[in-house]
Each structure stands twice: as C-alpha cells, then as structure tokens.
Amino acid sequence: MRQWLIKYLLRSVVRVSIPEDVLRQDKKTGAILLGGIALTDIEKGALNAEAKAIKNMRIWSVINETIKQQCYERGWRDSTTIEHLNTAKIMYNVLDTQQSIVNSFENMVR
C-alpha cells in the first residue's frame, strides 16, 4: 500500500516518470507491456540478456557512480540554494528509475 501511494504521488502530483510507465504487466492477460505493446518471448529474452550485459559493463557503473558523486557534491556538500538540492534529487530520481527499469528487464521471466 505504501509503495502504491508513493508511485501514485510521484506520477500524479510531482509528474515524474516511474518504471511502471515504461514496463508493466497486463493484469488480465499477464502479458508484459513495453510502451503499451506486448513483448514477444524473443524480445523478452533479448531485453533480459541486454540488461544482464549492461549491468556487467564498466561503463554502467562509471555513469551511475559519477552522477551519484556529482549529485552529492553539488546538491548536498556545495549547495547554496534549494534549487541545487532539488536538482540533485531529480538526478537521483532519474538514476533510480533507470536502475529499476534495468532490474525489471534483468528479472523478467519469459
């Protein structure tokens, strides 16, 4: 219930993208939808393999860790205004959303 409320508020009030905007499962058919279009078994397998591969690439960790470090430095350590803090929070939210999408693809069952 709590997670549902958080997602509802993020989507409705703050108007940010959440992983379910990209990838979700149809409750009636059980099909996995990407952008509202059902994925085939071949697409699921390819996306699963790509997610596993990207998480093992060094570039993935470099991108994520570099941006996290910049968020910390600019948003918390060196911030002088509330805008700096809000920008850092948005950057963290984007990273979290990306990570959640990749995790969803990685954990996708065919």
pLDDT digits (tens, 9 = 90+) for 40-72: 889 989 999 999 999 999 999 998 899 889 888
Q: CB count, 10 Å around CB of 75?
A: 19
Residue 60: what pLDDT? 92
Copy the structure tokens of residue 18.
């959440």
Amino acid at residue number 25: Q
- 98 phi and psi, to 5 degrees? -60, -45
Q: How many Å apart are CA 47 and CA 37, to the nearest integer?
A: 14
Can you tell me which residue has the tokens 């996708």? 108
pTM (two decimals): 0.72
Give the range of the structural domain holding residue 65, as residue numbers without chain letter: 2-106
Relative to beta strand 37-38, strand 23-25 is unpaired
Q: Give every residue of the chain whose pLDDT is below 70, as ranges.
A: 1-21, 109-110
Report the domain count for the chain: 1
pLDDT at 13: 57
